[in-house]
């Protein structure tokens, strides 16, 4: 653990030498219990990554947990046990109610049954969260670094519940499961220098713990291991957005790289969905002030936009003809907090009205279109092949980089 000694501080000081009674009797039993995880693929996710945590309550809910501290096994615990872990300087204090067990650098709660779940709550928070599988705790500067070592499929189910909600067609959850799995496996190096693989925020994929919805869990099981690859058997960048407004964009229309599977397509499935249309109004002064800030010298009254509505759905710039000056639509969207870059401009005597379509960057899979396709009876393979061009579904064990080939 980051070069720290393997022995607990408390033990070095000669205190808490036998922190839990029965340790040496339980130890062989503990080893016998821990044999289930032969085939599972685990990923490490930092949880509560967006807020500093000084102390947490940990309570097993399902399964059997072995408690390991600084590489040594202390005991095992099941539902009904409660622990508090807090930080003091750069060490962790492990307590049960009313009793200090010891002071350590690293603590791991390792699930030994087929299904292991725990509840966790920072002392400063009101809401308890439920997680699958293991938890490791170390000190992280001024707070606790909490890492959920979780089976990939459990993680995927948790992410889907955060990203897609609970009440969607089962076939849509399968689509999300495959996208989410593909994204996770292609992003494992994002936090390599931080000592874990994914964070639980929007930077990676929002993850707030175990899934509890049956249809989500079943969708993950029914697509277990499936990922999307391109013609070279490489994991794709499985981009998705809320609603494309009728056309998706080529990857190079928004980002710098042209990817053969992220091509613009016409999508009529999303046209009557909630995020299909939007409007935003500005007074002439607001609009002109904005344009003046972007191009100090130009004459704002002479602004027009090329009629790019359906004929060129992937246009990238708004055109200001008097000076040949253009502003990338992507920047206008960010500047004015617009739902998308797909809009027309309606000018009247006192205001500017933007009539827009879609929500998001519009590259890759359109979630509301996919949802409607699922409602109409399309299966997950048809949906994925509609939005991603020339892709294949394979088990990730077949990937050249999986270590199995
Ligand atoms: Zn991240
Ligand atoms: Zn769409």
Ligand nearest to the CA of 248: 2
Give residue 191 CA to ligand 1 midpoint distance, Å: 7
pLDDT for 9: 28
Mean local confidence (pLDDT), 157-186: 91
Confidence of residue 318 (pLDDT cuts 50, 70, 90): low
270-297 confidence digits (pLDDT tens): 999 999 999 999 998 888 788 777 766 4
Q: Which of 18-27, 35-44, 188-197 has the lowest mean pLDDT?
A: 18-27
Cα(46)–Cα(30) distance, rounded to whole angstroms? 26
Is the predicted pLDDT of residue 307 greater than 70, yes or no?
Answer: no
Distance of CA 79 to the CA centre of its chain: 29
Give residue 270 CA to ligand 2 midpoint distance, Å: 4
Is the predicted pLDDT of residue 40 greater than 60, yes or no?
Answer: yes
Is the predicted pLDDT of residue 311 greater than 80, yes or no?
Answer: no
Give residue 141 CA to ligand 1 midpoint distance, Å: 18
Q: Please name the residues in contact with 261: beta carbons below 8 A apart, sequence gap of 6 or more.
A: 230, 236, 388, 389, 390, 391
Is the predicted pLDDT of residue 371 greater than 70, yes or no?
Answer: yes
pLDDT for 26: 37
Mean local confidence (pLDDT), 350-374: 94
Q: Catalogue all structural domains in the chain, each as residue range(s) with its CATH number.
A: 9-153 (2.60.200), 154-260+362-398 (no CATH), 277-357 (no CATH)
Give residue 326 CA to ligand 1 midpoint distance, Å: 34
Give residue 48 CA to ligand 1 midpoint distance, Å: 12
Give residue 193 CA to ligand 1 midpoint distance, Å: 12
Give residue 278 CA to ligand 2 midpoint distance, Å: 14
- Mark the residues whose beta carbon lies below 5 A from ion ligand 1: 199, 203-204
Name which residue leads in pLDDT, 242 or 2: 242
Ligand nearest to the CA of 242: 2
Cα(51)–Cα(53) distance, rounded to whole angstroms? 6
208-218 confidence digits (pLDDT tens): 999 999 999 99
Confidence of residue 333 (pLDDT cuts 50, 70, 90): confident
Mean local confidence (pLDDT), 49-76: 95
Is the predicted pLDDT of residue 244 greater than 90, yes or no?
Answer: yes
Ligand nearest to the CA of 46: 1
Is the predicted pLDDT of residue 119 greater than 80, yes or no?
Answer: yes
Name which residue leads in pLDDT, 323 or 43: 43
Kindly state the percentage of the chain with pLDDT values over 70: 80
Name which residue leads in pLDDT, 89 or 319: 89
Cα(247)–Cα(265) distance, rounded to whole angstroms? 6
- b/e code 243-273 from CB counts within 10 Å (16+ = b): bbbbbbbbbebbbeeebebbbbbebebbbeb
159-169 confidence digits (pLDDT tens): 999 877 778 89
Ligand nearest to the CA of 245: 2
Is the predicted pLDDT of residue 39 greater than 80, yes or no?
Answer: no
Give residue 145 CA to ligand 1 midpoint distance, Å: 14
Is the predicted pLDDT of residue 7 greater than 60, yes or no?
Answer: no
Give residue 365 CA to ligand 2 midpoint distance, Å: 8
Give residue 254 CA to ligand 1 midpoint distance, Å: 21
Ligand nearest to the CA of 192: 1
pLDDT for 388: 98
Give residue 372 CA to ligand 2 midpoint distance, Å: 10
Give residue 13 CA to ligand 2 midpoint distance, Å: 64
């Amino acid at each position: 653990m980051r070069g720290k000694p393997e022995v607990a501080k408390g033990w070095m000081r000669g205190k808490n030498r036998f922190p839990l009674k029965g340790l040496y009797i339980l130890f062989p039993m503990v080893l016998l219990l821990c044999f289930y995880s032969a085939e599972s693929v685990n990923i490490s996710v930092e949880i509560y990554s967006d807020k500093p945590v000084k102390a947490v309550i940990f309570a097993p809910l399902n399964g059997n947990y072995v408690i390991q501290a600084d590489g040594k096994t202390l005991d095992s615990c099941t539902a009904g046990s409660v622990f508090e872990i807090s930080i003091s300087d750069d060490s962790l204090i492990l307590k049960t109610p009313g009793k200090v067990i010891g002071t350590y650098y690293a603590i791991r709660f390792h699930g030994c049954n087929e299904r292991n779940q725990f509840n966790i709550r920072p002392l400063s928070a009101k809401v308890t969260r439920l997680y699958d599988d293991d938890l490791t705790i170390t000190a992280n500067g001024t707070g606790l670094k909490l890492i959920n070592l979780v089976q990939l499929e459990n993680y995927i189910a948790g992410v889907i519940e955060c990203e897609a909600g609970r009440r969607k067609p089962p076939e849509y959850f399968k689509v999300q499961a495959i996208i989410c799995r593909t994204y996770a496996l292609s992003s494992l190096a994002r936090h390599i220098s931080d000592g874990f693989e994914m964070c639980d925020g929007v930077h990676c994929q929002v993850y707030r713990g175990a899934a509890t919805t049956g249809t989500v869990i079943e969708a993950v099981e029914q697509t277990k291991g499936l990922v999307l690859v391109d013609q070279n058997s490489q994991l794709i960048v499985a981009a998705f957005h809320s609603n494309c407004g009728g056309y998706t964009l080529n990857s190079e229309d928004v980002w710098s790289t042209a990817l053969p599977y992220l091509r613009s397509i016409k999508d009529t499935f999303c046209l009557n969905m909630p995020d299909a249309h939007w409007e935003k109004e500005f007074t002439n002064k607001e609009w002109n002030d904005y344009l003046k800030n972007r191009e100090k010298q130009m004459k704002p009254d002479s602004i027009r936009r090329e009629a790019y509505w359906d004929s060129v759905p992937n246009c990238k710039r708004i055109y200001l003809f008097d000076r040949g000056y253009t502003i990338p639509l992507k920047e206008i969207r960010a500047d004015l907090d617009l739902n998308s870059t797909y809009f027309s401009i309606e000018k009247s005597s006192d205001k500017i009205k933007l009539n827009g379509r879609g929500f998001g960057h519009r590259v890759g899979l359109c979630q509301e279109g996919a949802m409607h396709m699922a409602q109409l009876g399309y299966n997950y393979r048809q949906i994925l092949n509609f939005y991603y061009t020339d892709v294949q579904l394979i088990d990730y064990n077949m990937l050249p980089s999986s270590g199995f080939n």
